[in-house]
Amino acid sequence: MKALIFKRYGRPDQVELADIARPKPAPNEILVEVHAAGLNPIDNMVPKGTFKPILKFDLPATLGSDLAGVVVEVGSRVTRFKPGDAVFASIFDLGTGALAEFARVPENAAALKPANLDFVQAASIPMVGLTSWQALKERIGLKPGQKVFIPAGAGGIGTLAIQLAKHLGAKVGTTTSTGNVDLVRSLGADEVIDYKTQQFEEVLRGYDAVLGTVRGDAIERSLRILKPGSRIASLVGPPDAAFARGRGMNVFMVLLFGLLSRKIIRRARLAGATYSFLFVHPDGGQLAEIGALLAAERIRPVIDKVFPFDQAKQALAYLEQGRAKGKVVVQMR
């Protein structure tokens, strides 16, 4: 079968479409014929070695985390799915990849595809949906009437997180460029800052939470808009000691991540806030709940561009430019 693989870390010429063996599902896995794969920024970071200390791959490895397709084979212990079922899933951090004609998916990572979505739309959802869910519902515990700041509202995470926050009854502040103001307002954003003309920390006040989605000094600047008792869930780092302990890392890594996050944790505490780093994990149960919201049209996919499978490398390059409005998806069938 065809798959987009990387053979070594650190060099873009090591990413290529190749013929590899079709995988066989383990007893607790399903084999999915992939119809579409959603791209995420981490798909560009992995082959560069950015997450080499955290994510483990047996090289050569298949890239990609999000998929939608049809079950063609089930393992001996699988009870929730059968051949012919249309499913979607995130297989991030599970040692397998989605940018392939077929993919192994643990049963507990998959959910039935919402009937009102096509495969491209469904493939755009898993990682951004799960990240938003785990950050806003679990880590932050967002409540009706609270205010949450979600920067980069027109991006892949932003377009989904804004909608989920509104579903949870929160008020949402965001940043975007002039051309995307109408888009983020249509998704439910209440306060929109055009970052080309304004600094968000000079305008926004009284926020209960921040979803950290932008690298650089954005999280430190966001401390100025928070009120006491607020929470910051960062998707972009720095990683903290709690994250290292949760992944079972050694003492050295726990200490290292503790040092990396010490400054922002201290500054957050001085502002009356708590800081934590969030690394999304696959969860088929949560994805099914997100699927129910999609089926009820409480939230919707936002897709910027769709590439054919033979242009998967170009799709990753386009995503890396950072200009996509919503998600970039690769279509296999």
**What integer best gives the mean pLDDT of the chain?**
95
Distance CA 210, CA 91 (A): 26
Checking if the pLDDT of 207 tops 90, the result is yes
- Per-residue confidence (pLDDT) for residue 57, from 0 to 100: 87
Rg (CA), the chain: 20
Q: φ and ψ at 206, to 5 degrees?
A: 75, 35
- Per-residue confidence (pLDDT) for residue 324, from 0 to 100: 93
Query: Is 36 within 8 Å of 120 (Cβ atoms)?
Result: yes
For a pLDDT cut of 90, what percent of the chain falls above it? Answer: 91
pLDDT tens profile 289-317: 999 999 999 999 999 999 999 999 999 99
- Per-residue confidence (pLDDT) for residue 176, from 0 to 100: 96
Query: Is 332 within 8 Å of 70 (Cβ atoms)?
Result: no
For a pLDDT cut of 70, what percent of the chain falls above it? Answer: 100
pLDDT tens profile 63-112: 999 999 999 999 999 999 999 999 999 999 998 899 999 999 999 999 99
Checking if the pLDDT of 239 tops 80, the result is yes
Q: Looking at residue 21, what DSSP letter applies?
A: P
As given in the structure block, the two tokens for residue 76 are 């001996």
Average pLDDT of 224-253? 94
Distance CA 144, CA 328 (A): 31
- Per-residue confidence (pLDDT) for residue 208, from 0 to 100: 98
- Per-residue confidence (pLDDT) for residue 13, from 0 to 100: 75
State the span(s) of the chain assigned CATH 3.90.180.10.
2-125+301-331
Distance CA 298, CA 286 (A): 16
The number of angstroms, rounded, from the C-alpha of 154 to the middle of its chain's C-alpha atoms is 14
Question: pLDDT-derived band of residue 215, with 50, 70 and 90 as boundaries?
Answer: confident
State the span(s) of the chain assigned CATH 3.40.50.720.
128-277
3-state helix/strand/coil string of 43-105 = HHHHHHCCCCCCCCCCCCEECCCEEEEEEEEECCCCCCCCCCCEEEEECCCCCCCCCECEEEE
- CATH fold of 128-277: Rossmann fold (3.40.50)
CATH architecture assignment, domain 2-125+301-331: Alpha-Beta Complex (3.90)
- Per-residue confidence (pLDDT) for residue 53, from 0 to 100: 79
Distance CA 31, CA 51 (A): 27
